[in-house]
Amino acid sequence: MIGNFMYYNPTKLYFGSESLDYLKGELKNYGSKVILAYGGGSIKKNGIYDQVLAILREAGKTVVEDAGVMSNPTLEKLHEGVKIAREHQADLILAVGGGSVCDYAKAVAASVHFDGDYWEEFFLKQQNPPQGQPIIPVGCVLTMAGTGSEMNGGSVITDEANTFKIGHVFDHRLMPKFSILNPRFTMTVPVEQMKAGIFDIMSHLMEQYFSGTDDNTSDYLAEALMKNVVTDAYKAVKNPQDYEARSNIMWVATWALNTLVKCGKRQDWMVHMFGHSVGAHTHAAHGDTLAAISLAYYKHVMSYGLPKFCRFAVNVWGVSSTGKTEEEIAYEGLDALEKWMKEIGLPTKISEIGVTNEMIDGIAKGVVILDAGYHKLSQDEVLQVLNKSM
């Protein structure tokens, strides 16, 4: 654990098939005016909306609905949410849905009592709310496993007018006060979304793992979480009603991006940079964009971080190292990753998710180049990676 760092994560997690029972107790800690934020209405079809609303009413809360949060929450929607929360003097924002609804709730919560341009300050300038500014507490009832938003300060908002998607990781004040994680709720999402979520989890882990050379506890933990998600992805794809598999995937998702596995580490995050640009041109699911670019990217940078790629092969995929060169071991690890992806039905090329040769230049221009992994790409290498993935 080289370097100095702080770990602080005060989100309270209620986990399990009965976890919604704890919502009523939590609600006692907050005032009477609750904003109920949710998405396109799927929670109305599957009954989660009714359950949550009944608990809110039983707790004597005044509920104001803030519906229609889209899967990539827009700046326009953020303005709307802030207006609603201000009008109704919200005491709590309860996000019911996937990571996007939770991301959105945090952005609203940070902005309501901010006396200035919150988009400029928090997202464009990457600042946190000033110390002392009131922050509306956020609670979360999670219905999809993947983003980890339920236990971190992250929030991604899209300025559609300027085709600009930007994330900010707020400090601990914006981490949800509590999150309710019921694995059964994740069984309501379509299998394709579950798969995209699974790769989002895997990618979060790989992007934090593939950096640094030191013997770091965070890498051991990341390997454990990767092994778990690999094993349970097979089970969940075979039988989406497998509670144990779905519950592990949900738990891994939370721990994959709640800052634990980045402690004492540099992090890569280039796959997310590629993925965001591919997503802007194709509107493919976020997890699918990550899956589609990963093999080309990791094969490209593998030689710069060979020991870690060998470790990945042996510790995550059980590759035997006997009598093999480091390159052979490392390649076998990426081959095992590819085999797993194909077996559970994930895309492995960007051409599979709608990217055409004509789009490549535009996508390449949209890829933000970071320098925290094993190798900083040149603009030309960005193009090479994209072309290798066609």
Residue 200 interacting with a second copy (CB under 8 A):
no
Which of 157, 90, 153, 169 lies closest to 119 in space, CA to CA? Answer: 157
**Which x/- pattern over 219-238 shows residues binding a second copy (rule: CB under 8 A)?**
-xx-xxx-xx--xx--x---
CB of 18 to a second copy, least distance (A): 5
Distance CA 66, CA 71 (A): 14
- Concatenated DSSP letters of 98-159: SHHHHHHHHHHHHHTT--S-HIIIIIIS-PPPPTT-----EEEEE-S-SS-GGGS-EEEEEE
Q: Quote the tokens at residue 295.
A: 């093999």
| Residue with token string 């929670």 | 43
Assess 313 for contact with a second copy (CB under 8 A).
no
Interface stretch with a second copy, choices 197-205, 249-257, 301-309, 381-389 (CB under 8 A): 249-257
**For the purposes of burial, counting CB atoms within 10 Å of the CB of 270, is it exposed (0-12), middle (13-18) or buried (19 or more)?**
buried
Give the residue, chosen from 31, 167, 264, 354, that forms a contact with a second copy under the rule CB under 8 A.
Answer: 264
Binding to a second copy, residues 162-191 (CB under 8 A): 183
The stretch near a second copy (CB under 8 A) out of 96-104, 141-149, 248-256, 364-372 is 248-256
**Closer CB to a second copy, residue 205 or residue 285?**
205
- Tell me the number of residues near a second copy by CB under 8 A: 46
Identify the DSSP state of 91. Answer: S
Closest separation in Å from C-beta 94 to a second copy = 18
62-66 vs 33-38, strand pairing mode: parallel
Task: Decide the pairing of beta strands 178-181 and 33-38.
Answer: unpaired
Of the candidates 254, 230, 224, the residue with the CA atom closest to the CA atom of residue 344:
230
Closest approach, Cβ 327 to a second copy, in A, equals: 22
DSSP state of 260: G
Smallest distance from a second copy to CB 259, Å = 11
CA neighbours closer than 13 Å in the CB half-sphere of residue 213? 6
Q: Contact between 337 and a second copy (CB under 8 A)? A: no
- In whole angstroms, how close is the CB of 9 to a second copy at the nearest point? 7
Which of 252, 292, 353, 385 touches a second copy (CB under 8 A)?
A: 252
How far the first Cα of the chain sits from its last, in Å, is 38
**Interacting residue with a second copy among 111, 128, 208, 247 (CB under 8 A):** 247
Using the rule CB under 8 A, which residue among 143, 216, 294, 389 binds a second copy? 216
| Contact code string over 8-37 relative to a second copy, x by CB under 8 A | xxxxxxxxxxxx--x---------------
Integer CA distances (angstroms), 245 to 146, 206, 315, in order: 14, 20, 21
Residues in contact with a second copy by CB under 8 A are 1-19, 22, 183, 214-217, 220-221, 223-225, 227-228, 231-232, 235, 243-245, 247-248, 250-252, 255, 263-264
